[in-house]
Amino acid sequence: MKYLRNSSTDPHYNMSFDEFCLERFPSDDTVFYLWRNSPSVIIGRNQNAYAEVNLPYLEAHGIRLARRVTGGGAVYHDLQNLNYTIVGRSRDLERDCPEYLHLMLDALRALGVPAELTGRNDIVVEGRKVSGYAKRVYKDRLMVHGTLMYDVDIASLTEALSVPGSKLDAAGIASVRSRVANLRDYLPQFSRVEEMQAALERTLSRDYADSQVFLSSEDETEIQEICRTKFSTWEWNFGLSPKAGFTHAAKLPCGTVEVSCSIVRGKIRGLSFGGDFIGSLPAEGLAAALDGCRFDRASILEALRGLCVSNYFDNTSSDQLADLFLAFDRR
Reported as a single tens digit per residue, the pLDDT across 86-109 is 999 887 666 778 888 899 999 999
DSSP 280: S
Q: Which amino acid type is present at position 223?
A: I
State whether residue 1 is helix, strand or coil. coil
What local confidence, expressed as pLDDT, does residue 89 receive?
86
In whole angstroms, give the CA distance from residue 30 to residue 104.
Answer: 13
Measured from the Cβ of residue 304, the count of other Cβ atoms closer than 10 Å reads: 19
The DSSP symbol for 256 reads E
Across 120-124, 129-133, 193-197, least confident range: 120-124
pLDDT > 70? residue 151 = yes
Binned at pLDDT 50, 70 and 90, residue 177 comes out as very low
> Are 58 and 64 within 8 A, CB to CB?
yes
Provide DSSP, 159-211.
HHTS-TTS---HHHHHHHHHHB--GGGG-TT-SSHHHHHHHHHHHHHTT-TT-
The candidate with the shortest Cα–Cα distance to 152, out of 42, 49, 60, is 42
Dihedral sign, CA of 135, 138, 142, 143? Answer: negative
Rounded to an integer, what distance in angstroms lies between the CA atom of residue 213 and that of residue 280?
68
pLDDT at 166: 41
**Alpha helix (H) residue ranges in 258-331:** 283-290, 297-304, 318-326
The domains located in the chain, with CATH, are 2-237 (3.30.930.10), 244-330 (3.30.390.50)
| Whole-prediction pTM | 0.81
Residue 176 confidence class, pLDDT cut points 50, 70, 90: very low
> Which amino acid belongs to residue 282?
P
Contact 281, 308 (CB under 8 A): no
> Strand (E) positions, the chain?
2-3, 31-35, 40-43, 64-67, 75-77, 81-89, 115-117, 123-125, 128-131, 133-138, 141-149, 244-252, 255-264, 267-275, 329-330
Going by pLDDT thresholds of 50, 70 and 90, the confidence category of residue 168 is very low
